[in-house]
Structure 1
Amino acid sequence: MIELFSYSLSYQTLSLLFLAAFMVGMAKTGVAGVAMLTVPLMALIFGGKASSGLMLPILIMADLFAVKYYHRHANWGYLIKLFPSAALGVIIATFVGNEIDDRTFMLIMSVVIFISLAIMIWMETANKEVIPDYWWFAILMGTLGGITTMIGNLAGTIMALYLLSMRLPKNEFIGTAAWFFLVINVFKVPFHVYSWETITLNSFLLNLTSLPFIAIGAFCGIVLVKRISDKHYRWFVIAMTALAALYMLF
């Protein structure tokens, strides 16, 4: 066992934490879906609500890498539509989350992933055109994104659904998602600190030990995504979401 900042962790647990940080780094720089594999893993180790707080600073550090590299590609028209409803979703989830136990938490994550995956596959195989860019659709996706990101850091599938439906090119997809999650994740911090009390000085210091693994993951993600064409990237996002869904099922 290793004692780190009041945490007593086995070598295996610490390795899994660093693996999660590496995968989050990859996910934030374009390897969509990988981060979802870390959500049930961290929930299993630290508990549902506690893991969401422990993961948040890791996500923010990875968001910074993504924004640094892709910031020029963000589509602010979509972001402006999403931010208000996403903030509302975070506030709703802050109160709802106090009533959710770990088992319900895992059930919600599973439902969100499978529904989002089914819709994404249907849209692609049915050759559906862009969903009309109405405000109601942005408000719905923003609210769902805010709720799922607060409860389980699981808004990746919701944002993938929205941005894929808008037919954004690869870099614009990644850049828009990067700015969305950086802003919303920073917005979530006070709720985790003061309402849920899942972020403490000790948990943040533990997060900092994972920074090198986040950086390596971010670099690997950038290199990998450069090798994928825009056309293939859409199916890549769906495939990674499917793998994450299967992982949660078993």
Structure 2
Amino acid sequence: MAELMTPLTAVFAVIGLIIGFSKTSVGGLAAIAVAIAALAMPAKESTAAILAVLIAGDLVAVRLFGRHVDWSLLRSLIPAVVPGLVLGTLFLAVVSDEVLRRSIGVMLLVLVGLQLWLGRRRRTRPPRTGSEPEAEGGGPSRADHPLTSWITGTAAGFTTMTANAAGAVMTLLFVAKGVEKARFIGSFAWFFLGVNLAKVPFSVGLGLMSWIDVWRAVLVFPVVVLGGFAGRALVRRMAQHQFEIAVLLGSAVAAVALVVG
């Protein structure tokens, strides 16, 4: 246990606070924790080290918001995650640490850009009237198409395996579907708890995760809980679009640090 009492554990306490906060508010903030971990230690090792803390955050989120889960949102996504996890594992096995670090930064920047673009479209789109169909021709929107779920699920599996950054991918889909805030967070909580637990064998198989990572997550769990309650309190009081803008700006700064660092 003495080997855990290092400056790195103090860094992970900050990471745990951010992750707990993001899991019960707006998930984009977790990108900052991912970037901090990748800057504090070798990028490949960081993906496994932060995974244990993410699982701790998922448990907190399930406890606070799990009853709001909408399983109908998740059924079509779960099978598509597996191919993404496999592709992500193969990518981790062949790339260098420097390439992975920069890849994480680029992925985060792209996902932040997509979220900003989508948010701008939402704000500039005129409100629908009661007689206006939900999509062209009155049919289901593109967000409800089965292919959209498969693309999103595979992309989420790949990005979560390589960069622990699938929250932004899932956010795009959930926002496009117009998912209400409580259902959004509750469904995220259960989805990522399952996905992150599924990633553990892959990380162990690559030789990236060790018991030290697990014990470090246990050590910082109290601050993860603190962050979770703080996130829940803030998300009830703050306008969602204001909070999203702040989180996306923070994620962009963190991503730039990875790309140019």
TM-score surpassing 0.5? yes
Distance 1:239 1:96, change over 3 A: same
Mapped contact 2:31–2:254 kept (Cα < 8 A): no
Do the aligned partners of residues 118 and 201 (structure 1) sit closer, same or farther apart at CA in structure 2, a change above 3 Å counting? Answer: closer
Report SS of the residue matched to 2:76.
helix
- One-letter code aligned to 2:191: F
1:19-49 Cα deviation digits (max 9, x unpaired) = 0011110011113322111112111222111
Measure the CA separation in 1 of the matches of 2:51 and 2:246: 25
Matching residue within 222, 229, 233 for 1:223? 233
Q: Unpaired runs of 5+ in structure 2?
A: 126-134, 136-140
Of the three residues 173, 177, 201, the one matched with 2:211 is: 201
Task: Indicate whether 1:244 and 2:251 are aligned.
Answer: yes
Specify the alignment match of 1:182 in structure 2: 193
CA shift, 1:112, in A, is 2.0
2:82 aligned with 1:87:
yes
Matched, 1:106 2:101: yes
The 8 Å contact of residues 24 and 35 in structure 1, kept in 2 or not, is answered as yes
What is the CA deviation profile of residues 47-83 of structure 1, one whole-angstrom value per residue up to 9, with x for unaligned ones?
A: 1111111111111111011011111211211211111
1:140 lines up with 2:151 in the alignment:
yes
Q: Could you list the runs of 5+ residues in structure 1 that have no partner in the other structure?
A: none
Q: Once the two structures are aligned, what percentage of the paired residues are identical?
A: 28
Q: Distance in 1 between the 2:248 and 2:97 partners?
A: 22
Look up the SS of the partner of 1:199 in the other structure.
coil
> Partners of 2:217 and 2:121 in 1: how far apart?
43
2:82 matches 1:71: no
Task: Give the partner amino acid of 2:150.
Answer: I
Which one of the candidate residues 197, 202, 208 is aligned to 1:191?
Answer: 202
CA-CA distance at 1:235 after TM superposition: 5.1
User: Contact 1:81 / 1:139 at 8 angstroms: preserved in 2?
Assistant: yes
- What letter corresponds to residue 149 of structure 2 in structure 1? A
The Cα offsets for residues 208-230 of structure 1, whole Å up to 9 and x where unpaired, read as 111111111111111111113xx
CA shift digits 1:86-121 (9 cap, x unpaired) = 122111111111112222212222222222223223
How many residue pairs are counted as aligned between the two chains?
A: 241
Q: Is the 8 A contact 1:63 1:182 kept in 2?
A: yes
SS across alignment from 2:144: coil
Higher RCO (CA-CA < 8 Å; seq separation 6+): 2
Structure 2 counterpart SS, 1:209: helix
Report the 3-state secondary structure (helix = DSSP H, G, I; strand = E; otherwise coil) of the residue aligned with 1:30: coil
What is the alpha-carbon distance in structure 1 between the residues aligned to residue 45 and residue 17 of structure 2?
Answer: 20
For the structure 1 residues 55 and 5, does the alpha-carbon distance in structure 2 shift closer, same or farther, using more than 3 Å as the test? farther
Cα offset for 1:242? 2.8
> 209-218 vs 28-37, which deviates more?
28-37
Contact 2:9 2:216 in 1 (8 A): no
C-alpha RMSD of matched pairs (Å): 1.9
Contact in 2 for aligned 1:54/1:203 (Cα 8 Å):
yes
Quote how far apart the aligned CAs of 1:6 are.
4.3
- Answer yes or no: is 1:36 the counterpart of 2:31: yes
Partner AA of 2:207 in structure 1 = E
Conservation of the 8 A alpha-carbon contact between 2:112 and 2:251: no
Please state whether the residue corresponding to 1:42 is helix, strand or coil: helix
Runs of 4+ in 1 over 6 A off after TM superposition: none
Q: Does 1:122 align with 2:132?
A: no
- TM-score between both structures, scaled by the size of structure 1: 0.89
